[in-house]
Amino acid sequence: MKNRTKLILIFAAGAITGAAIITGFAFRKPEPKETTVEVKNDGKLEYKWYAPDIPKSMDFCGEKVPLNRWEVRERLDRDMIVNYYAHGGTLYMLKNVTRYFPVIEARLKANGVPDDFKYVCAAESSLQPTATSSVGAASLWQFMKDTAPRYGLEINENVDERYNVVKATDAACAFFNEAHRKFGSWTAAAASYNCGQGGYASQVSFQGGNSFYDMVFPEETNRYIFRILSLKAILSQPKAWGFMLDASEGYQPVKTRNVTVTATVENLADFARQNGTSYKMLKLQNPWLRSRTLPVRPGKSYVVEIPVD
């Protein structure tokens, strides 16, 4: 056991050292005799960490980010560092990109919303379909319970359409289009998704600004656009930032067939078996089903996705 433990420790140290070397030299030319790992006199390893380079230019939905301004560059720098060094979370997000981005991209396009808004979804939930927040926001798009119905999402004890990827993306698109008409900017529309359209309008009225980059917001909103921009940079070109994940390693969309339900289903476990799957797989593919039954009002119908092996 001791020898085995020693081998594991040696392997782990080697892996960490290799990662540190890649990280340290990814964005800058090393100085002569410079190393990213130093062995101290007591045998402990001391790692040297470097800040990733800031892109020379960026845009959000074609709207230029004023990176010539020091305060804008520093705000982007902060979130680039945070998201670049969140290795585990970023790699897991990249694995989910191949499963969820195709669906989200299709709905954004169908609703006339720029493709960059998929990074808003990533910033909201890290592409975790069942993510919840301490204040009650839920799912990929993190809709609040009182906001979701205003954009056509049904929520009750049996159904929560915030967890329906297609419907929730359509609802988010309705918000973005509405905010864009109100504020005249996609960047403002994205920021208002965080602080609310009323909150954004209040700041515009008070400060007299017409650009997100020219105004002060609560700290969460101040950072929101820069989190989106940093994720756009990393997720759009992961290997350029040292995230060596091939597309084949990402999670693939689950193959399904649709079943339209027009009458109440009293027992979803029985329904699952009758349709050639299990209750567990039914729930995993349809997290918007929130109980063991699915009541259906007259004239109402639901589309349930059945996983296909």
Q: Report pLDDT digits (tens) over 227-256.
A: 999 999 999 999 999 899 887 899 999 999
| Torsion angle defined by CA atoms of residues 98, 100, 104 and 107, in that order, rounded to the nearest 10 degrees | 100
Is 53 a member of any domain? no
75-101 pLDDT, tens digit per residue, is 999 999 999 999 899 999 999 999 999
HSE (side-chain half, CA atoms, 13 Å) at 101: 20
218 plus 78 within the same structural domain: yes
Residue 52 lies in a domain: no
Q: Name every residue whose Cβ is closer than 8 Å to that of residue 75 and which is 6 or more positions away in sequence.
A: 222, 223, 226
The total number of structural domains in the chain stands at 3
Contact 170, 107 (CB under 8 A): yes
Q: Indicate if 160 and 275 belong to the same structural domain.
A: no
Tell me whether residue 54 is in a domain.
no
148 and 199 both lie in a single domain: yes
* Pair (245, 139) in one structural domain: yes
Please check whether residues 116 and 41 belong to one and the same domain: no
Q: Domain check: are 142 and 75 in the same one?
A: yes
Tokens standing for residue 236: 């759009």
What pLDDT does residue 210 have? 82
The model's pTM? 0.85
Write down the pLDDT at residue 41.
74
pLDDT tens readout for residues 7-39: 444 444 444 444 443 444 445 555 655 666 777
Q: What is the mean pLDDT of the chain?
A: 89
- DSSP letter string, 191-220: HHHHH-HHHHHHHHHHH---SGGGS---HH
> Do 110 and 172 share a domain, yes or no?
yes
Same domain for 223 and 105: yes
pLDDT > 70? residue 134: yes
